[in-house]
Amino acid sequence: MTTIIDGKQLAKALNAQTKTRVAALAAQGKVPGLAVIIVGTDPASELYVRSKHRKAGQLGINSIVRQLPATISQADLLAVVRAYNVDPTIHGILVQSPLPNGLDETAVINAIDPGKDVDGFHPVNVGRLFKNLPGHYPVSCTPRGIMTMLESLQTPLRGKHAVVVGRSNIVGRPMAAMLLNADMSVTITHKYGSNLRALTTTADVLVVATGVTHLIKEADVKPGAIVIDVGMDRDADGKLTGDVDFDAVFDKVHAISPVPGGVGPMTIATLMRQTVDLCEWSDELGNE
């Protein structure tokens, strides 16, 4: 029997824990604060930002959405970020990606206080993750949520082989680091890999984040594998689907995450969790 890794259900459980932690902080007079900066009016970005804002409200997190015009200058955008850096009511700052053309996303990420970097995109936090440093720091929410999904299976990861298909800064690279930190052997490839199938068929854990609809078919997976689909693609009918042909691989694998209802809800739940983490850590991180 194949296990469907139900991201919606896992997100619900995680959000319940987060809500309890928010209540405990409230008893100390603390309210976690999240500032979401969105530049321009891209409908998909507005949709994501709205769902984060709604979830934060449900959990008792103080979420501020700051929508700025696409015509804003780089200097003015940096000034907005810096103002949140020194705002004691804000514990997490998120700049919705992608930024409109003409704005330098790297410079904006670099301007975020690493102690308020709720996306885990700042190079200081990326460096900590890649060095597997001890201590408290934020990491990228999608791969952190995927680690929670893998833990829910209660299958030992140590010594097993993970293959990550995708090398983005948001998913592929930090995912590989987290799996390596979990004592797995890790192979990173991407949609240009000419030997893709030779690699993916050796994966005990296969994480696919390419944006290529149904890139992974039945012949591309190892029997009994755990498959995590990070794709958010539209099929010919405009329906949301993943990078894995779910129906084709289903009977062959041990466990698989669906799209929708898999990684997406866990990304948002992990963002909420990490906002509360940053609030709890704020004394030691020196931003209060």
Ligand X SMILES: Nc1nc(=O)c2c([nH]1)NC[C@@H]1CN(c3ccc(C(=O)N[C@@H](CCC(=O)O)C(=O)O)cc3)C=[N+]21
In the complex, the residues that contact ligand X under the rule CB under 6 A are: 48, 94-97, 119, 141, 232, 240, 259-261, 264-265, 267-268
141 token code pair? 């929410």
**Element of type H or E holding 195:** none
For ligand X, the closer CB: 255 or 259: 259
Per the annotation, the verdict on 116 as an active-site residue is no
Give the span between the Cα atoms of 150 and 155, in whole angstroms.
8
Residues facing residue 257 across a β-bridge: none
For ligand X, the closer CB: 142 or 200: 142
- Closest listed residue to residue 220, CA positions, set 245, 241, 190: 245
CB of 156 to ligand X, least distance (A): 27
CB of 101 to ligand X, least distance (A): 16
CB of 27 to ligand X, least distance (A): 29
For ligand X, the closer CB: 55 or 222: 55
For ligand X, the closer CB: 67 or 201: 67
25 token code pair? 């902080």
Nearest residue to ligand X, scored by beta-carbon proximity? 264
Per the annotation, the verdict on 96 as an active-site residue is yes
Is residue 288 within 8 Å of 30, Cβ to Cβ?
Answer: no
167 is in an annotated binding site: yes
282 is in an annotated binding site: no
- Number of CB atoms found within 10 A of residue 42's CB: 16
101 token code pair? 């053309």
Per the annotation, the verdict on 52 as an active-site residue is yes
Is residue 65 within 8 Å of 94, Cβ to Cβ?
Answer: no
CB of 50 to ligand X, least distance (A): 11
Give the span between the Cα atoms of 24 and 46, in whole angstroms.
31
- Number of CB atoms found within 10 A of residue 102's CB: 10
Q: Rounding to the nearest 10 degrees, give the CA dihedral for residues 109, 77, 38, 108.
A: -10
Task: From the candidates 6, 55, 96, 113, give the one annotated as an active-site residue.
Answer: 96
- Closest listed residue to residue 269, CA positions, set 146, 111, 94, 98: 146
Task: From the candidates 6, 113, 117, 119, give the one annotated as an active-site residue.
Answer: 119
Helices (H), 86-211: 105-111, 123-131, 141-152, 172-181, 196-200
For ligand X, the closer CB: 86 or 240: 240
Is the bond preceding 265 in cis, omega lying within 30 degrees of 0? Answer: no
CB of 259 to ligand X, least distance (A): 6
Which residues carry a binding-site annotation for NADP(+)?
166-168
Question: Catalytic residues, which ones?
Answer: 52, 96, 119
Binding positions are 166-168
